[in-house]
Amino acid sequence: MKRHVLTIFSLLVLAAAAYPVDLSINAGLLFGLRMASNSDISDVYGSGLVLFPQVSVNFMKFVTVGVGYEMGFPQTGKIGTFEEDATLKLSGIEIFAGVQYPLKMLTPYLAVGVGFYSYNQTVDSPYALEVDDSQMGLRVAGGVKFYPLGNVFVALEAKFVALTVKPYDDDVNLGGLRFCLGVGYTFKL
Instruction: List domains and CATH numbers for the chain.
Output: 2-188 (2.40.160.20)
Q: Is the pLDDT of residue 80 over 80?
A: no
Mean pLDDT over each residue of the chain, to the nearest integer: 88
pLDDT in tens, 166-177: 877 778 888 999
**pLDDT at site 147:** 96
Model confidence at 21: pLDDT above 70: no
**Separation in Å, CA 151 to CA 157, 183, 189:** 18, 11, 12
Given a contact cutoff of 8 angstroms between Cβ atoms, the answer to whether 137 and 119 are in contact is: no
Q: Rounded CA gap, 125 and 162, in Å?
A: 29
Long-range contacts of 164-171 (CB under 8 A, 24+ apart): 164/135, 164/137, 165/119, 165/133, 165/135, 167/121, 167/131, 167/133, 168/131
Q: In this predicted structure, what is the pLDDT of residue 166?
A: 80
Across 70-92, average pLDDT: 88
Asked if residue 34 lies in contact with residue 41, where contact means CB atoms within 8 angstroms, the answer is no
Angle, alpha carbons 76-82-86 (nearest 5°)? 20
